[in-house]
Amino acid sequence: MSAGHACGVMSATRAASLLLFVVSAGLLLGALGFQYLGGLAPCEMCYWQRWGHVAVLAAAAVAFVGNRRPLGVLAVVVMLVAAGLGAYHAGVELKWWQGVTACTAPVGGGLSTAEMMDALLRAPLVRCDSIPWSLFGISMAGWNALISAGAALLALLLLKAKRIGKQA
């Protein structure tokens, strides 16, 4: 076996893609944990961030399998978009700018007007400009932005390397 194919060696593209995949999966699982175990209902912008990380998972998986540097760069760009969504939401929470005016009250189709009104009135209104949880003064959206941006930066640094791991 040649030194370039030695056990424990991973391409920089695969290492960066794996990092982005694991970070996005962790952030998504954390958000779902806060929702289903912690009882924190997501707002409209929280869903945007989740979709951003779903896109990162897809881009990172394609980059890992394809093992091509341009695919790795694409995965980094998608992670930066996810970070931007988190930063935008954090800015809305901090009242730096106005966010969306939509609410996240789920209403299914095929309901009568009375049933729809009842469902809307019973559904919790989750505001995008309030902070339901924070750690060290940083909201979940803020942590999402920081962690996503940090992962994107680290992935870019990995992409500058040729190989990651021990050489035989």
Nearest to 13 by CA among 167, 162, 168, 166: 162
Q: What is the pLDDT of residue 5?
A: 47
In a domain, 105, yes or no: no
In a domain, 28, yes or no: yes
Residue 11: phi and psi, rounded to 5, are: -65, 155
Contact between 7 and 154 under an 8 Å Cβ cutoff? The reply is no
In a domain, 103, yes or no: no
Global confidence as pTM: 0.73
Contact between 17 and 72 under an 8 Å Cβ cutoff? The reply is yes
Question: What stretches in the chain show pLDDT beneath 50?
Answer: 1-7, 103, 166-168
Over the stretch 108-157, which tens digit does the pLDDT of each residue have? 566 677 777 776 666 666 766 776 766 797 788 888 999 999 999 999 99
In a domain, 123, yes or no: yes
Tell me the CATH number at 92: 1.20.1550.10
In a domain, 54, yes or no: yes
Q: 20 is in which domain, residue-wise? A: 3-98+111-164
Helix intervals (H) in 37-68: 44-66
d(CA 42, CA 58): 22
In a domain, 149, yes or no: yes
In a domain, 140, yes or no: yes
What is the count of structural domains for the chain?
1
